Structure 1
Amino acid sequence: MTLSEDLLHFVWKYRLFAMQNLRTQSGKLVRIIYPGTHNHDAGPDFLAGRVVIDEVAWSGNVEIHIRASDWERHRHHADKAYNSVILHVVYEYDKPAYREDGTPLETLELRPRIPATILPRYRELMSGMWWIPCEKLIHSVPPFHLSQWLSRLLMERFEYKISAIYGVLDQQRGSWEDTCYIWMARSFGFKVNADAFEQLARSLPPSVIAKHKHRPLSVEALFFGQAGMLEDTLFADGYPQDLQREYAHLRRLHSLQPMGAASWRFMRTRPGNFPTVRIAQFAALCLRSTQLFAAITDTKEIGSLKAFFDDLPVNPYWLEHYRFDTPPASGGNQLGARSIDALLINAVAGIIFAYGKYMGKEMYIYRAIALLEDLKAEDNAVLKRFSALGVRAAQAAESQALLQMKTFYCDKRKCLDCGVGLQLIKHNE
C-alpha cells in the first residue's frame, strides 16, 4: 500500500517516529519543540511550528511531502507564501528543495525513522470491510484513552448541534423563546416527522398561541389546523368537528395558512408515535407553558425537567385514538419515559448548552453536560452494535459521543483524526 500524505501528516503531528539524533539532509541537528497547527486550508501543512536547528531557534511553517521532489512538482518553489517554511519534512528524500527567494530548505527524511508497525495497522483500518474500520481492534483501546476521547466527542456533538440552533436564532432575530419553541417542536417529530414539525412551528407563532392559552380547544385547533389535518374532511367524531369549527374562526382571525397534510408521515411509525398524537402532546406542552425557554433554563434539577414533560394536559380523546375518526384503541396519551429522555437529550440539553455558549455563561454549559451524564444512554441499533464490540455506553453523554464518532469518523473512515485510531496506530503490539 502506498503511503498517503494524510498518514505522513498524522505521523508528524503526533511525532510517531524515532526522535533521537534527528538530522536534516545537510547534517544539521534538529529538535522539534512544536510540530505546528495542522492547516486544512490552502498554504503550508503546519502553521507556527517551532524547531531548533543546530542550536538556532526557528518559528514558522512546516511543509510535508511524500518525496522531496513534490515541493517543486507542487510549484512551491515559485510561491512566495512558502518562503515562511522553516522545515521540509518528507518520507523519502530524492532531491534538494529551494524557496521562491532562492534559499535552500532544510529537509528532514522520516522513512528510516517510522516504525514498521504503523503502515500495516493503517492499511488494516483503511481496507477492512467492517461496520466500523476498527471493529476487530477497538476492544484493545485502553479504557482511559477511550473515555478521554468520548469526552472530547461529547463537546464536538454539542458544537455540531448548536450550529443549527444558532441558525434558527438568527432567523428569529435573536429571540431565544421563539428559537426554543421551533427546536422543541422539531424534536417532537422524533426524526421521522422532524421537518414537518418544524414547518408547523414556523407557521404558528408562539404569540398567537399565547393569546388563546386559557382555552385548550383553541390551542389544539390551531395546531391541528395549521398541520393541515382539518382540511376538507367530514368528521364523524365530535372532537375533530369541534376543532374544525374552532380553527375556521381562528384561521380568519389570525390570517393563517395551513401546511399540507401530505407532509406528515404515518408509515413505519408506531401508533404512539403517530404525528396526530405527538401534535396533541406538543399542544399540551404549550398549554402548560407558552414560555418554554424560560421554563427550561430556570429549571435546574433533572427530576423537575422530566416532570415538565410528564402528565401533560392532553385531550382525553387521545386516550382511545391514534388518528381522527379511527376505531377506539386502548393506549396512553402521555409521553413515555424513553420519549422524555430523548427530548431532554436532543432538545433541552442542546438549548441550554447553546445559550450558555452564546452568552458566555459556563453554568449553563456545565448544566447541559451534567444533564446528559444523569440520563441513561439511548437504545438504538448503532449503540447495540458498539455494545457487541465491547464498547458500552451507560450515560447519554457516552451514547451521544459514540453516535458522533460513528457518523463523523467511522462512516467517513477518518481514523487519522480519531482518538481511537490514534491509539491503534500508535500502539501496535
Structure 2
Amino acid sequence: MKEDFLHYLWKFKKFDVLNLKTVNNEEITIVYVGQYLELAGPDFFNAQVVIGTQKWAGNVEIHIKSSDWYVHHHEKDIGYENVILHVVWEHDVAVFRSDNSEISVLELKKYVEKATLENYQSLMNPKSWIFCEKQLKNVNAFALQNWQERLFFERLERKSQPIFDLLEQTNQDWEGVLFCLLAKNFGLNTNGEIFYKMAQSLPFSTIRKESFEVENLEALIFGTAGLLESEKEDNYFKDLKFRYFYLLHKYQMEKVCLEPVQFFKHRPDNFPTIRLSQLANLYHSRQNLFSKISSLNSLKSTYELFQVTASEYWQNHYQFDKESPIKKKTLSKSFIDLIVINTIIPIQFAFAKSQGKEISEDLIQLLNEVAAEKNAIIEKFTSFGILSKTAFETQSLLQLKNEYCNKSKCLECAIGMDLIKKS
C-alpha cells in the first residue's frame, strides 16, 4: 500500500461515500475533497466536510497509518493545525492538535471495494517491465488516445526548456539556437553533446558571415570539433587546417578543447566527418534557415529543405587520408525524420509559445506524417499490444515510459487510473 493510492481514492471518491463514519462513530459527509497540492504541507487544501452535525472547512491529511503523523513530525508543524480530517488506511493511534483537541479520523479500508483494491494490487507488480503490462490491452482506446496527446505536449514542454535557456545565452538569437540544436541532432546519441558544445563555441554571426564559402564553414566546424589536430598528408586536410587558424585570427576567437568525437560503433555514413560536412553544406546552401524551418508544415517540404550532401571530398572519403569507393553522402529520409522529431517540432513549439500562438494541431499533423520510431521501448510496448504507426504515438509512449512508468506514477497516469477503475 502506498499513499499515492490513498490520494487517488480520496481525490476521486473511489469508496463508499454514503456510509462514512469516523473511528469514533460520527457520520461524515464530504462536501468538497479539497485541492490536491502535491507540495509541502497537508495533502488536500480547503476541503469541506460535515462531521456529525458540524460543518468543517480546512485541510485533509492522508497517511497509511495514523501514527505516521508523528513519524513525519506533523505535531511540531503549525502548517498542520488546520487539518480537519485525518484520512488513513489503518488507524492505530489518536492524533491531537496543539490545543489537545483530537483530530477526526476516517479509516478508509472499511469503505473501499475489494475489486478496486485487487485491481491496484494487480497493477503494482514489481517484477514487470511496467506495472500494467498484462492489462494494457484492456485500456479504453479513447482514454489512451487522449492521454497520448497530453503526453506528447508534456514531452514538448520538457524539450522546449533547454531552448529557452539557450535563447537567454544567445541574446534571443533563434538562428543561433537552431544551429546548436541541429548540430546536436547531427551528432546522434554518441556525438550529440560534443557537436552541441562545438556549435555553442562558435558565434553564429561568424557562421552567417562565412556561409558563402563551404570550405570556411567546414574549417570552423571541423577545427572546433577537434578534427584538425593531427598532421595529415591530404591536401584537403591541410587546406581546412590553414583556413581554421586563419579564421581564428580573423575573428579573434580562442581555440577550444572538446572531448574527441567518436567513430567507434558508427556505420560509415554516420561518421562525424560526414555528418559535420553535411551540416556545413546545409548552412552553405540554405540561408535564413530558421525562418524556413519555423514555417514547415509538411514532411514533403521538409525532405526538400534537407536535400543536402557532404562536400565533394567526402564523396570518396569517410576519414582524412583514407580513400573509399565513391558514394554520394546525402541525408536519408530516416535521418531527416529524426531532425523533425528532435529539432523541428520542439523549436516550432517553443517559437509559437514565445509568440503566444497556438499550433498544437499543426504539430500533431506534421508528426503523424513521420513513421514510427524503432527502439527497444517501442518494441516492448508493441509486444504488449500497444501498436504505433506514427512518430506522434512513439513520442507519447517514450514520455509515458520515462516519466510515468519508470517513476511508478501509475496513479497520475490515465492508463493506470482506467485499469484501477475496471472491476
Please, what TM-score do these two structures have when normalized by structure 2? Answer: 0.91
Which of these residues, 167, 171, 174, is aligned with residue 172 of structure 2? 174
Cα pair distance change 1:175/1:60, threshold 3 Å = farther
Shift of 1:63: 0.3
State the Cα deviation string for residues 6-33 of structure 1 (Å, max 9, x = none): 3222322232222223233454443434
- How many angstroms apart in 1 are the aligned matches of 2:328 and 2:256? 27
3-state SS of 1:322 partner:
strand
3-state SS of 2:88 partner:
strand
- Matching residue of 1:349: 345
- Give the 4+ runs in structure 1 shifted more than 6 A: none
Are residue 256 (structure 1) and residue 243 (structure 2) matched? no
- How many angstroms apart in 2 are the aligned matches of 1:235 and 1:286? 28
Which of these residues, 312, 331, 335, is aligned with residue 335 of structure 1? 331
- Matching residue of 2:238: 241
- Matching residue of 1:424: 419
Are the counterparts in 2 of residues 92 and 109 from structure 1 also a CA contact under 8 Å?
Answer: yes
- Matching residue of 1:13: 11
Shift of 1:48: 3.3
- How many angstroms apart in 2 are the aligned matches of 1:29 and 1:174? 60
Which shows bigger deviation, 354-363 or 333-342?
354-363
Which of these residues, 144, 149, 156, is aligned with residue 146 of structure 1? 144
- How many angstroms apart in 2 are the aligned matches of 1:281 and 1:274? 11
- How many angstroms apart in 2 are the aligned matches of 1:4 and 1:138? 22
3-state SS of 1:401 partner:
helix
- Matching residue of 1:379: 374
Cα pair distance change 1:379/1:271, threshold 3 Å = same
- How many angstroms apart in 1 are the aligned matches of 2:258 and 2:67? 63
- How many angstroms apart in 1 are the aligned matches of 2:47 and 2:301? 50
- Aligned ranges 1:90-109 → 2 under 5 Å: 90-109=88-107
State the Cα deviation string for residues 18-68 of structure 1 (Å, max 9, x = none): 222323345444343443333333210122334455676654321002223
- Aligned ranges 1:3-42 → 2 under 5 Å: 3-42=1-40
Letter in 2 for 1:141: V
- Matching residue of 2:316: 320
Which shows bigger deviation, 192-201 or 374-383?
374-383
- How many angstroms apart in 1 are the aligned matches of 2:171 and 2:31? 47
Cα pair distance change 1:259/1:105, threshold 3 Å = same
- Matching residue of 2:392: 397
Cα pair distance change 1:301/1:4, threshold 3 Å = closer
- How many angstroms apart in 2 are the aligned matches of 1:26 and 1:235? 91
Shift of 1:361: 1.6
- How many angstroms apart in 1 are the aligned matches of 2:159 and 2:118? 36
Shift of 1:227: 1.5
Letter in 2 for 1:416: L
Cα pair distance change 1:91/1:327, threshold 3 Å = same
Aligned length in residues: 423
Shift of 1:194: 0.9
- Matching residue of 2:268: 271
3-state SS of 1:374 partner:
coil
Which shows bigger deviation, 107-116 or 91-100?
91-100
- How many angstroms apart in 2 are the aligned matches of 1:73 and 1:253? 67
Cα pair distance change 1:260/1:17, threshold 3 Å = same
- Aligned ranges 1:264-303 → 2 under 5 Å: 264-303=261-300
Which shows bigger deviation, 136-145 or 368-377?
368-377
Letter in 2 for 1:269: H
3-state SS of 2:146 partner:
helix
Letter in 1 for 2:247: L
3-state SS of 1:263 partner:
coil
State the Cα deviation string for residues 241-272 of structure 1 (Å, max 9, x = none): 32223223212212334444752111111111
Are the counterparts in 2 of residues 88 and 105 from structure 1 also a CA contact under 8 Å?
Answer: yes
Which stretches in structure 1 are left out of the alignment for 5+ residues?
none
Which shows bigger deviation, 339-348 or 116-125?
116-125
Letter in 1 for 2:129: W
RMSD: 2.4
State the Cα deviation string for residues 355-409 of structure 1 (Å, max 9, x = none): 222332213x443333223322212221112112110111211100101111122
- Matching residue of 2:47: 49
3-state SS of 2:18 partner:
coil
Shift of 1:410: 1.9
- How many angstroms apart in 1 are the aligned matches of 2:56 and 2:281? 65
3-state SS of 1:211 partner:
helix
Letter in 2 for 1:339: F
- How many angstroms apart in 2 are the aligned matches of 1:394 and 1:52? 51
Letter in 1 for 2:133: E
